[in-house]
Amino acid sequence: MSASLSYVTLAKKGIYLRIHAQPSARKEGVRGIHGEAIKLAIRAAPEDGKANTAIATFLAKQLGVAKSDVTIVAGHQSRRKRFFINGQTDALIEAVHAMVNLTLKQ
């Protein structure tokens, strides 16, 4: 499995993902890799936690988990964010890998 992805950190009951947020974007989606983070464009504005909620919702949908399984743990008011995704580690890593690779192939 591709656990060596720089933007993923393994945990006992899930994974941590590093995200570089691009709020107020015209089009939502993964835009590639930015340093050691996944660059994620989101339509929501960076006010009152709207962008954070939109990112959590996007990640939940893309990774096939419930919204309640995605939690922001760092970077609440920064473009550099860290999310914890609760779930089966191998399946989550595979889903993240697929999400990023799909974008990079386009």
Summarize pLDDT for 75-97 with one digit per residue, the tens: 999 999 999 999 999 999 999 99
Which pTM value belongs to this model? 0.90
Distance CA 35, CA 39 (A): 9
Is 85 within 8 Å of 70 (Cβ atoms)? yes
- The CA-atom distances, in angstroms, between 67 and each of 2, 5, 8, 53 are 24, 23, 19, 9
Residue 6: what pLDDT? Answer: 87
All structural domains of the chain: 16-105 (3.30.1200.10)
pLDDT digits 0-9 by tens, 15-64: 999 999 999 999 999 999 999 999 999 999 999 999 999 999 999 999 99
Residue 60's SS3 state is helix
Q: Is the pLDDT of residue 102 over 90?
A: no
